[in-house]
Amino acid sequence: MPKIVDHEQYRKELLKKCFDLFAEKGYGSITMRQIAEGLGVSTGTLYHYFPSKQSLFEQLAQEICEQDVSAALAELEGAQTLQEAMEALGRYLVNNEDYFVKWTYIWIDFCQHQETNVIQNTSIFKHTNKQYQQAVYDFLGVQDPVLASFVLSFVNGLILEKLWGDETVDFIEQCALLGKMLTAYLPQSSN
């Protein structure tokens, strides 16, 4: 089945290149023509590999999410204390600020273009959400889902501030503060 291998491989190549294209203009604003042009193919070819703009995005989201989670966990492991872990998280966010802001931007933009009540039903949405949550559980080493949600919300909120153009927010400072608060709240914890 050499044909299929080529097809799949080419599809993934195209997918990777799509991230920056979406990031430049957002899901809603970039046109399929522009994506095709950016990929160096025709619109016909683009539709040969992806049945619709929405499907293209969902496949991209799947791909991104998988890479994201494993990369983050790899980079963040090794911290001995919660404080250290939070500081590592801060550095990680700062180092990849552009990436996270872009991705959050694209993701929100995609959501805007779905019917509100459809979001939850979209399998891609449920799926990636779970993956991110699981990653936070792993990172914290804590089973508490409330705490996990807390951290996830906090991180998303931080990125949202940046997305809104608030330059005064400092990821490192904020994560350090979170570390102190967590340490004060969970004195026994040593991650």
Partner DNA sequence: AATGAATGAGCGTTCATTCAT
Partner DNA sequence: TATGAATGAACGCTCATTCAT
| Tokens encoding 68 | 């994201």
DSSP-assigned states of every residue in 78-119: T-SSHHHHHHHHHHHHHHTHHHHHHHHHHHHHHHHTS-GGGT
Report the distance separating Cα 52 and Cα 137, nearest Å.
34
Encoding tokens for residue 183?
A: 């340490």
| Shortest CB 163 distance to DNA, Å | 21
Q: Which stretch binds a second copy (CB under 8 A): 8-16, 20-28, 76-84, 91-99?
A: 20-28
Site string for DNA, 7-46 (x = CB under 7 A): x--x------------------xxxxxx------xxxxx-
Q: Are 123 and 67 in contact (CB under 8 A)?
A: no
Contact residues toward a second copy (CB under 8 A) are 24, 26, 28-29, 105, 108-109, 111-113, 116, 119-120, 125, 129, 145-147, 149-150, 152-158, 160-161, 163-170, 173-174, 177-178, 180-182, 184-185, 187
Which residues make up the interface to DNA (CB under 7 A)? 1-5, 7, 10, 29-34, 41-45, 47-49, 51-54
